[in-house]
Chains A and B, each alone.
Chain A
């Protein structure tokens, strides 16, 4: 069934479908669901592997924020670029990375995207335009502006997305980068995924304005607030910002209000928020459940179709973990490789 047929079937005459149902084919919409499952199951798989001691270090999970990553990436092409954050697994998958190579990276293997040198916090896939997650809050924001400067100088049609969290909006790098991007009308989109807390410190306790998007006014760019748990809202804001950027009209600041179900990292004891708050988000506002319900309501997918996608994702995740387990570790003698560019 096409989206148009679905529209005819389920909507009263004259009613408007949300943005993505007007913009994208049923295939694209199902692919978005597929990727949102992939993000969640990837992180659940990574978490389980961590618990079982297969992954060391730490990781920052974005479970609950899947619509934000996916919605922003929907209007992007493979040529467009992103810079990501320490909570960047979702961005990486949404932009097109393969979960097998991501698992391999988390397992520290040579087949990983960073050949075992980066891990979760530096996950990247340059081939699909992900210039890398970043261990420094706000570290990727000026880099995205630099990538946008390249896009403008080379007169490419490329846009660059800079993902960051609410914590980064109090870093100097955020302000310096937004100012320059606006001044030079660069094709960059600043996406603040506001999950309410910079580690344990809430927006109210850290930020002198109510919304991160309010800060856009100081840099003469549009500031847009969206419900980050509603895929269509996020994608619509991204679509408009991408259009502006490609036309040379400059940057946009999108604030995607969302929530992370898990703690900040593996050391988090969740002392700064209540169980009720977490449960409310998980039960009433889950971005995947909401999207599934919409798709079914508009007749784009049925329960069997959903189950089929879930099953395919389960297999993809299981295969990815097996690939990672079976991959070789880097050799100690290659410890210093990649510090500098090898000259032949």
Chain B
């Protein structure tokens, strides 16, 4: 099929996905704070309210818990809500509905219902918004059976994964790094999906595997380019989904390269990298390792305001370069 491919920003790709979902399925509607005439805090919903009306692009009061619950109730009874949190940090106000209700309702009722709700979480640091507007809480939700948790890294993926999420019968949580919103990439017109639960090898390499999530994928690719000139051939695996995790792709990559570095923005301890590392340690890939696994994650601190401190809180390209250089030459 001929689908024209344009350069779109990550935010435009999300908006296009939502417009397609709204156009093609009467059951789909959007809910969130200031997503109507304001266009969303990050202008992701933009002018969708003008195209689809205030009944389908619903501004909610500042009521994250209640709003999330309304989305859950609507999903259980036949609609397909896409609920936008203004910042992922505000998930903390709605954890009850996300964790106790959305995630468990199908199970508690023995399969009598499904909860096809999509929740979008603008996440991550780098905007100078300090400790309560910069967190990466995806691992919190990744810990909850019943949820699916995704972190698309490119405009192509975010459109396809959002459309896959809308079509999914279960609750899907999308963590969108705010610094990705303005990044551009090729996006085909029209409907397509990118599967949830499938990692993507962004760069093939022989010497070392970097498993990265979200914005860290781009930092890892940038580092890989520099390292190529130094003769280190890095494979970059974009995890894309943290629950359910694509173990096979990661295991196969590590078996090939024998070295693993995990790079993620969430706090290092008990985070996505801990899960990936443990998963490899438990797998047949463990015997292939030539050096201990290394994790680069967020510092053990709230996100600070000062820009230099803020940068130092999360992994940057030089950190990745240093970690790879050390890991590529290290041995057990």
The interface of chain A, by Cβ under 8 A from chain B, is: 81, 83, 112-118, 122, 124, 126, 131-132, 134-136, 139, 141-151, 153-154, 172-173, 175-177, 179-180, 183, 337-341, 343
Across the A-B interface, the 6 shortest Cβ-Cβ residue pairs: A146-B73, A142-B69, A176-B66, A115-B110, A143-B73, A341-B169
Decide yes or no whether B191 CB sits under 8 A from chain A.
no
16 further contact pairs, Cβ within 8 A, besides A131-B73, A341-B169, A343-B169:
A113-B109, A113-B112, A117-B109, A132-B105, A141-B69, A142-B65, A142-B69, A143-B76, A145-B70, A147-B74, A149-B79, A150-B79, A153-B29, A153-B55, A177-B70, A340-B170
Shortest Cβ distance from B270 into chain A, in angstroms? 22
The interface of chain B, by Cβ under 8 A from chain A, is: 29, 55, 60-61, 63, 65-79, 81, 96-97, 100-101, 105-114, 145-146, 148, 169-170
Residues in A whose Cβ lies below 8 Å from that of B68: 142
Contact between chains at A180 and B70 (CB < 8 Å): yes
Residues in A whose Cβ lies below 8 Å from that of B108: 114, 117-118, 122, 124, 132
Contact between chains at A131 and B78 (CB < 8 Å): no
Q: Complex Cα distance A337/B73, Å?
A: 22
Shortest Cβ distance from B319 into chain A, in angstroms? 36
Shortest Cβ distance from B163 into chain A, in angstroms? 16
Residues in B whose Cβ lies below 8 Å from that of A150: 73-74, 77-79
Contact between chains at A149 and B74 (CB < 8 Å): yes
Residues in B whose Cβ lies below 8 Å from that of A136: 96, 100-101
Residues in B whose Cβ lies below 8 Å from that of A135: 100
Contact between chains at B170 and A341 (CB < 8 Å): yes
Residues in A whose Cβ lies below 8 Å from that of B67: 142, 176, 180
Q: Complex Cα distance A343/B148, Å?
A: 15
Contact between chains at B106 and A173 (CB < 8 Å): no
Q: List 10 A-B contacts (CB under 8 A).
A: A113-B112, A117-B108, A135-B100, A142-B65, A153-B79, A176-B67, A180-B70, A337-B111, A339-B107, A341-B111
> Please, which residue of chain A has its CB at the minimum distance from the CB of B171?
A340
Residues in B whose Cβ lies below 8 Å from that of A139: 69, 96-97, 100-101
Residues in A whose Cβ lies below 8 Å from that of B100: 135-136, 139
Residues in B whose Cβ lies below 8 Å from that of A180: 60-61, 63, 66-67, 70
Contact between chains at A146 and B76 (CB < 8 Å): yes
Contact between chains at B110 and A114 (CB < 8 Å): yes
Residues in A whose Cβ lies below 8 Å from that of B107: 117, 338-339
Q: Complex Cα distance A284/B79, Å?
A: 47
Residues in A whose Cβ lies below 8 Å from that of B70: 142-143, 145-146, 149, 177, 180
Q: Complex Cα distance A118/B104, Å?
A: 10
Q: Complex Cα distance A176/B169, Å?
A: 27
